[in-house]
Every structure is written in C-alpha cells, then in structure tokens.
Copies of this chain bind each other. A is one copy, B any other.
C-alpha cells in the first residue's frame, strides 16, 4: 500500500484526487491537509464522501507528512507549492505537484509567464513534466512530477503527433479551447457564481493565459522548432471537460485518413487515448468522469488545414487522474490502476 497525503485536499483538484484514491486498490489516504478546514472531517466538507473517507483535515506539518506518507499530492494555490515542495522533497518524499510551479524546463520561461522569479530553481531541475504519454520513461526515474495543466494536457495531446511528424506550419498553430467551470476552482468569486456563468459563454485571458507556455514548451521539443502559438481559453456552462479545437496548416497535401494514421501510430500503445475513426469526433460526454482522451481529425481539403479536436475531463486526465497515473508510474505499479472507470455519459 502506498501511503498518501493530499495537500490542498478541499479544492476541486484535491478532492478529485481523494475521490479517485478511495477506489484505488494500492493506495491509502493517510493525511488530508486543508488550511481552511482544519479539524473538520473531509466528508463534512464534501458530503459525497460520508462513510467512504471520513478523515479529519489537518494543518500542514512537513515532519508529520514525511513520517506518515510515501507520496504527496500537492494541490495548493499558485505560489504555495514552490515554498512547500523543497522541504518535502528534501525529506525524500515522492511528490506529484498539481500547480504550475514545477512544469518548466527553464526558470526563465516560468518567470516570464508567472511574473516573478522561480524561488526554487535547484529543485525545479529535479522535476519532470508529468504528461505520461509523452514523458513516461523520465517520469519513472524521478520523484518530483510537475503534473500538467488541464488545458495543456488536452492541447499538447491533440497536436503532439503532428508536431512530432514535422508536417505542420509552425507559425500558424491555433488552439481554441473551451473549459467547464470546475476549471475555475472552488472560489467564491463573483464571476464564478451560478447566475453569472449559466446560459453564457466568454473568452478570457486572450493571448496571455499561462498554460500557453507549457504547450509551447512541449510542442517545441516534439517538433524541434521554437513554437509560438495562439491559445484562447473560453468558459462554458458545464462542470467538467476541456475541449480543444486545434488548427494546423499541413506542409504537404494529406487526407484525413493519412493524418489519422499518424495519430493511431503515435498513440498505438496508449490505454487512455482514443483516436476516432474518420467521420466521428469526440465529445465531452465521451470522456467526462474518466481518464480518457478523445481525439478526432478533419482535414479541410480546400485549405489543406487539419482541424484536430481533443477532449478530456479537466479534473481527471487534466488534473487528479493524471496525477494518480503519475503516482502509479513513479511507484512502479500498473499505470492504469484505479483509473479505468468508464466515463459517466449521463
């Protein structure tokens, strides 16, 4: 049994880690840390867990965590991770960090997008970017994982095969992404209340969203070119799901079928990736509630442009599920353990 602590357990990403682990046969939750709910049962904060996980929330105590846990998930507000993690890392813990703090190869890129120097560049060097399907081998040999963002996972996985095949015009990549509202977290802010979100739709952080930098980092590595692209996030009135519509000009004439062959080959061993046959496209409903990624392609012959549609459950493959997948990898157990539930559809 892997003994697990979850820091930031009462946020939406944290509680989804908790929920997934209650059904994981090889992990045991031993600590749920939440500054806001110290002393309360986690099942009083999230009453779906009554009788299933009734642990009390504790305050952060690094020594206690180190003494009781093999691995921690850190799902802390931005900035908090990079102060806490060095001390946890020093104690020898395995760490899967769900913040943006340990997702970068270069602290300069971090500083550019986060507006402040990275406070732990030495520890950053020890981390690996936790997109399992792309960095599986490296992940297995590390114990600090920068778990990717939700928009990021969906976007990179949608474009990775094209980037790696070096068949796209890298100057005209566009990712138009749509997110469910859980992506905004459990924050009681005005733009997040029901009547401001429901029956509406908006774009936000146009040309400035931080996840852009993760996408550029990974696609640049895959393509061997320095990619700069457009990424536009939108908020949609649904709870779960990220849907990325990606536009890429092809540098040679290709059909939908030929492009799909590239995708099928690229992901041929991947349990959690579903490439759709020509004429069929994934929908949020196919993946919500699961760790699966759905990807479909249409090539517009008039423009020789590929339109790639990629979708995931933002809380699972885009956060907690991928974090558990990373846990499985770094703990040397079967990668899909605890993650094989079908999506809910309804």
Closest chain B residue to A309, Cβ basis: B203
Q: Which residues of B contact A189 (CB under 8 A)?
A: 188, 193
Most chain-B CB neighbours within 10 Å: which of A229, A302, A345? A345
A302 to B315, CA, bound (A): 30
A346 to B337, CA, bound (A): 22
Contact B201 A289 (CB under 8 A): no
Chain A 101-116 interface 0/1 with B at a Cβ cutoff of 8 Å (1 = within) = 0000000000000000
Contact B300 A230 (CB under 8 A): yes
Q: Does A1 contact B (CB under 8 A)?
A: no
Q: Which of A206-242 contact B (CB under 8 A)?
A: 206-207, 228-230, 232, 234, 236-241
Contact of A190 among B15, B188, B200, B303 (CB under 8 A): B188
A189 to B281, CA, bound (A): 19
Known: A12-B195, A238-B200. A245 touches B283 (CB 8 A): no
Contact A48 B344 (CB under 8 A): yes
A-B pairs, top 10 by smallest CB distance, nearest first, are: A48-B343, A200-B285, A207-B300, A202-B283, A176-B176, A206-B298, A47-B286, A48-B345, A194-B197, A200-B284
Choose, from A82-90, A91-99, A179-187, the stretch at the interface. Answer: A179-187
Chain A interface residues toward B at CB < 8 A = 12, 15-16, 19, 22-23, 46-53, 172, 174, 176, 178, 181-182, 186-190, 192-204, 206-207, 228-230, 232, 234, 236-241, 243, 245, 247, 249, 271, 274, 281-290, 292, 294, 298-303, 305, 307, 309, 311, 315, 340-346
Contact A245 B238 (CB under 8 A): no
Most chain-B CB neighbours within 10 Å: which of A196, A240, A282, A301? A196
Contact B200 A283 (CB under 8 A): yes
A53 to B343, CA, bound (A): 12
Copies in the complex: 4
The smallest beta-carbon distance between A302 and chain B, in angstroms, is 5
Closest chain B residue to A343, Cβ basis: B48
Q: Which residues of B contact A53 (CB under 8 A)?
A: 342
Closest chain B residue to A53, Cβ basis: B342
Beyond A195-B239, A198-B239, 6 extra complex contacts between A and B, CB < 8 Å: A48-B288, A49-B342, A199-B199, A199-B284, A230-B303, A247-B247
Q: Which residues of B contact A346 (CB under 8 A)?
A: 12, 15-16, 182, 195, 239-240, 315
Contact of A206 among B288, B309, B340 (CB under 8 A): B309
The smallest beta-carbon distance between A306 and chain B, in angstroms, is 10
A203 to B187, CA, bound (A): 23
Contact B340 A52 (CB under 8 A): yes
Q: Which residues of B contact A196 (CB under 8 A)?
A: 285
Closest chain B residue to A283, Cβ basis: B202
Closest chain B residue to A297, Cβ basis: B206
Known: A188-B192, A192-B194, A285-B199. A342 touches B19 (CB 8 A): yes
Contact A186 B195 (CB under 8 A): yes
A290 to B19, CA, bound (A): 12
Known: A48-B290, A206-B307, A283-B47. A302 touches B345 (CB 8 A): no
Contact of A172 among B172, B234, B239, B290 (CB under 8 A): B172
Contact of A342 among B48, B232, B284 (CB under 8 A): B48
